[in-house]
C-alpha cells in the first residue's frame, strides 16, 4: 500500500502536496521512503541505479529539503547519460535552482522541460517562474511572454489568482 502511494510521487506534485496542513501521513510516508532509499544506497556501496537518486531527489523536494534534493539530483545527473529526456527530473532540478535563486540554471532547466515535453502538466508553473525570473533579470519582453503563456494555460497552479495578478502588475508589466 505504501509502495503504491509513493509510486506516482515525483516533482510534479511539488506545491500540490500539503505537508503542513492535513498531510502528516504523506510527510511521514515520504520521510520513511527517504530513509529507505538512503539505506539502500549505503548498502549498495556505489552500485546503485541512477533512478534511485532521481526518486530520492523528488522525495526530498516534496519534503522541502532542498539541499538533499539538489545532492540527489546532481548524483542522478552525473550517472544518467540521457538525463535530459526526464522532464520530471528537469522540473525538480529547476525548482531547486529557483529556490536557491540560481536563476540562470533554473531558466535552463525549465526551458529544457518545455523542449523535451511541450505539454508538460506543470507548464503553467514553469511559465510563471520563468516570467518572474526574467522580470528579475530585467528581460521584460521574455517575462511578459511567459506570464501570458501562464494565463492561457488552464491547468491548476500553486499560486492563487490574486497572487498571480500581483506578480503580473508589479514592475510595470
Q: Are residues 64 and 128 in the same domain?
A: no
pLDDT of residue 22: 57
Contact 8, 62 (CB under 8 A): no
Three-class DSSP category at 88: helix
pLDDT of residue 29: 82
pLDDT of residue 156: 76
Q: Are residues 3 and 79 in the same domain?
A: yes
Q: Are residues 1 and 48 in the same domain?
A: yes
Q: Are residues 39 and 76 in the same domain?
A: yes
Range of the domain at 128: 122-173
In a domain, 28, yes or no: yes
Contact 113, 86 (CB under 8 A): no
In a domain, 171, yes or no: yes
pLDDT of residue 166: 47
Q: Are residues 22 and 72 in the same domain?
A: yes
Question: Exposure string (b/e) for 25-41, b if CB count within 10 Å is 16 or more?
Answer: ebbebbeebbeebbeeb
Q: Are residues 95 and 128 in the same domain?
A: no
Q: Are residues 129 and 86 in the same domain?
A: no
In a domain, 26, yes or no: yes
Residue ending a domain, choose from 102, 131, 154 = 102
In a domain, 84, yes or no: yes
Q: Are residues 84 and 146 in the same domain?
A: no
44 grid coordinates: 549498495
What CATH code is carried by the domain that includes residue 79?
1.25.40
In a domain, 112, yes or no: no
Look at the chain and report how many structural domains it folds into.
2
Contact 14, 57 (CB under 8 A): no
Please list the pLDDT of the chain residue by residue as tens digits (173 residues): 566 667 677 677 776 676 665 567 778 888 888 998 888 888 887 788 888 899 999 999 999 999 999 999 999 999 999 999 999 999 999 999 999 999 999 999 999 999 999 999 999 999 999 999 999 999 999 999 999 999 998 887 776 554 545 455 555 44
In a domain, 86, yes or no: yes
Q: Are residues 172 and 92 in the same domain?
A: no
Torsion angle of alpha carbons 152, 153, 156, 162, nearest 10°?
Answer: -30
In a domain, 16, yes or no: yes
Q: Are residues 91 and 19 in the same domain?
A: yes
Prediction pTM value: 0.84
Q: Are residues 128 and 98 in the same domain?
A: no
Q: Which region, left, alpha or beta, applies to residue 138 given φ > 0 means left and ψ of -120 to 50 means alpha? A: left
pLDDT of residue 41: 85
In a domain, 108, yes or no: no
Amino acid at each position: 500500500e505504501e509502495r503504491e502511494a509513493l509510486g506516482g510521487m515525483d516533482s510534479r506534485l511539488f506545491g500540490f502536496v500539503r505537508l503542513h496542513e492535513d498531510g502528516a501521513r504523506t510527510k511521514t510516508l515520504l520521510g520513511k521512503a527517504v530513509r529507505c532509499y538512503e539505506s539502500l544506497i549505503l548498502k549498495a556501496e556505489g552500485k546503485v541505479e541512477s533512478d534511485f537518486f532521481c526518486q530520492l531527489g523528488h522525495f526530498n523536494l516534496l519534503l522541502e529539503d532542498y539541499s538533499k534534493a539538489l545532492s540527489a539530483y546532481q548524483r542522478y545527473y552525473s550517472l544518467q547519460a540521457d538525463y535530459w529526456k526526464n522532464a520530471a527530473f528537469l522540473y525538480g532540478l529547476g525548482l531547486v535552482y529557483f529556490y536557491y535563486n540560481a536563476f540562470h540554471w533554473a531558466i535552463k532547466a525549465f526551458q529544457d522541460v518545455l523542449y523535451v515535453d511541450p505539454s508538460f502538466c506543470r507548464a503553467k508553473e514553469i511559465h510563471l517562474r520563468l516570467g518572474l525570473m526574467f522580470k528579475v533579470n530585467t528581460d521584460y519582453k521574455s517575462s511578459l511572454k511567459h506570464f501570458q503563456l501562464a494565463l492561457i494555460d488552464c491547468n491548476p497552479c500553486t499560486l492563487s489568482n490574486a497572487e498571480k495578478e500581483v506578480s503580473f502588475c508589479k514592475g510595470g508589466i
